Structure 1
Amino acid sequence: MAGIVMLVCCGWTVLVCFSVQAYENLALHKSAWQNNTWGSYTADRAVDGRYTDLTLSGGQCAVSDLGKTVEWRVDLGGVRSIHHIVIQYMTDNDEWGENNLLTSFFLGFFVYISKTTNKEDGVLCLRDTNYTTSTIPNPVNITCPYQGRYVIYYNNRTHPPYPEGYSDYANIDLCEVEVYGCPLPGYYGDNCSVECKDDLCDNENETFLGGKPGFIGPRCNIVV
């Protein structure tokens, strides 16, 4: 959508138009993958927009077999400017907290944004080292202003002993993963109102991420 600013100078009134786009859920109905699947609870269930029933039987969540490492990712369909990620865990529709057994499977999780399917090629948005079964939030809201094509959720149980409250196995019980950012490439900043040269800017901090040569500066608009 477009915004209009009215400027008055020397008796003249000038209308200046600029592009404004609200953050959108870029993950909705996009292609998703997980390294193993329990039954019919496939990875795409975590990006289908449904999370009114947070039980296994509700059929709205992606679920894996128990394992030592679990990984889930969504393909945004192209490199996009991301602002924040919201993760809704399965709860069995029970009160969330230390008495909910599902909390133990999520402790120690990682979230990455990458331009490839390899998480090591990207940026680590969050590695949980502090949450306990009584403090882990649900949903989890992660601010990570970065550009990428894939959002990757990862967890492992490969280096015992584990902190108190951790499960012995990792699991994917994701009822929804929402990735909010700018719907069109080349825009970033507050309300996606800043156009970026070469689609290489941080969407919130207005900094150049690098890549193609030709433009530098805090708004990527200085030709070199």
Structure 2
Amino acid sequence: MSSTFSNFTSSNKAVDGQKTDLSYSGGQCAISKHGYKTVEWRVDLENLSSISNITIYFRTENSPWGCFRGQYGENCTEKCRENCVNDTCDINSGTCFECDVGYREPHCDLECDSGMYGPGCSLTCGVCINNTQCHHINGSCLQGCGPGFYGRKCDEGCPFGKYGINCQYNCSAACKSLYNCSRTTGECVDGCQPGWKEFHCDQKCDNRTFGPGCGHKCGECINITQCNNINGICEFGCAPGFLGVTCNEKCPFGKYGNSCADNCSRTCSTPRRKDWKLYRWMSDGLERRAM
């Protein structure tokens, strides 16, 4: 040992195996020279040995060594931080050996943040609304969940067919895959069924369009009304001069009007095209033929 208080406390006392009396007067402790804060101590084992651990007993005058629980510093006058586990900390620096749940090192005086909570701030918060911080200890979202999630910790996604804040909205039945929408926005995953449009597929085709993606034009519906948004049928009938359920067929030759129910006048000028078919009309009992 680099310094010795007296022969009574020489370095051999450190390795004599005696430790029942840890006082100065016990004669079992090696003590350095008075006033030395650092001392070098060497042990010659005289051979090669495999050592798994070394236990050093300090002179304590047979009193409990170090500060009592919850204390640190010179003369043990400082108190450990209140969030140190078991109220224990380093007796010199006051650093907690471990923080209570929900607090972080080094002094355990700061709550978990940045989306973390729990032991050692090691757990990730759920989807709290507006990315707010969850409770630093139990992870609950104090202000509620963001869209698409529910539960105390907001870590459960909305069930199929539901979306939005608190999963309160139903996905549209007009989604191409029935009720299959984004749990956060409600947007239909595969688009809309024929006849529907917009983000949530909750708007019928309009502006005289119908079908998949509202990509087809309506026929000649009466009074320029909107046809059926899905199949294009003119539900109130056709405009004069047109036939068919979608009102895309023109009246046949010699017919006109609503439902093509009226015959063209016999006084119409003779058709100019030479390949028109023969037609007949009766007047005063005489049959006339025009080519």
- With structure 1 as the length reference, what TM-score do the two structures score? 0.30
- With structure 2 as the length reference, what TM-score do the two structures score? 0.23
- Greater Cα radius of gyration, structure 1 or 2: 2
Which one scores higher on RCO, CA 8 angstroms, separation ≥ 6?
Answer: 1
